[in-house]
């Protein structure tokens, strides 16, 4: 078996388009640094207003805590009554949809991008993420590209999900596996 080595000098993601002009991207990076990534406590309604200016689709009663990182707001849809905890990272290189009544606990990550480790050029791979109604992503949990978390599923603390999480199911571990049903009273 011949072994080819990774050659990052050949990496090229020129094909990727984030959907905004360079000027809009620079403005967002400044806005993000001033009002989102830092640990100062700006009101959620102000941050929601800013996200909407940049093209995010956001419902009512959304809570955005401090130090939240959002890559491209124009690729983000958030429903009603959603909580986004401290230091959540939404690396949305592709669309991210977060439906009503979802909770993203502190330090959780939604990652729409990865790299093809089978290619010597380490090509960029992007896929959307969809969190259906009532999903809870636990603290420091990671949702990988292309993942669909169905209604009221739970990803527990420090777990890593990829693929599809079944409705009303609790997932734990790396890789996350279904451990039991979620009962809501």
Question: What is the full DSSP assignment across 16-56?
Answer: ---SS-HHHHHHHHHHHHHHTSSSS---HHHHHHHHHHTT-
107 found inside a domain:
yes
Domain range for 78 is 43-181
Q: Establish if 155 belongs to a structural domain.
A: yes
Residue 29 resides in a domain: no
pLDDT of 16 higher than 80: yes
Residue 77: inside a domain, yes or no? yes
Percent of the chain with pLDDT over 70: 99
How large is the average pLDDT for residues 101-108?
A: 98
The owner of tokens 């079944």 is: 166
On average, the pLDDT of the chain sits at 96
Assess contact for 122 and 101: CB atoms under 8 A: no
47 domain-assigned:
yes
User: Does residue 32 belong to any structural domain of this protein?
Assistant: no
Q: What is the pLDDT of residues 24-70, one digit of tens each?
A: 999 999 999 999 999 988 999 999 999 999 999 999 999 999 999 99
In this model, does residue 1 exceed pLDDT 80?
no
Phi, psi (degrees; rounded to nearest 5) at 75: -110, 20
In a domain, 37, yes or no: no
Number of domain units in the chain: 1
Position 81 scores a pLDDT of: 98
35 domain-assigned: no
Q: Is pLDDT at 2 greater than 80 in this prediction?
A: no
Supply the CATH number for residue 106's domain.
2.160.10.10
């Amino acid at each position: 078996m011949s072994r080819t080595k990774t050659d990052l000098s050949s990496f090229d993601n020129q094909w990727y388009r984030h959907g905004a002009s360079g000027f809009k991207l620079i403005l967002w990076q400044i806005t993000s640094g001033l009002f989102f990534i830092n640990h100062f406590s700006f009101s959620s309604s102000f941050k929601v207003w800013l996200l909407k200016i940049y093209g995010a689709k956001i419902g009512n009663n959304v809570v955005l805590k401090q130090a939240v990182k959002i890559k491209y707001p124009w690729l983000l849809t958030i429903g009603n009554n959603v909580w986004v905890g401290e230091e959540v990272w939404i690396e949305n290189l592709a669309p991210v949809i977060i439906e009503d009544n979802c909770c993203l606990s502190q330090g959780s990550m939604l990652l729409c991008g990865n790299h093809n480790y089978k290619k010597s050029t380490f090509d960029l791979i992007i896929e959307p993420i969809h969190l259906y109604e009532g999903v809870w992503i636990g603290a420091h949990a990671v949702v990988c590209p292309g993942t669909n978390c169905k209604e009221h599923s739970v990803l527990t603390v420090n777990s890593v999900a990829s693929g599809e999480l079944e409705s009303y199911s609790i997932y734990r571990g790396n890789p996350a596996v279904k451990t039991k049903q979620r009962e809501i009273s």
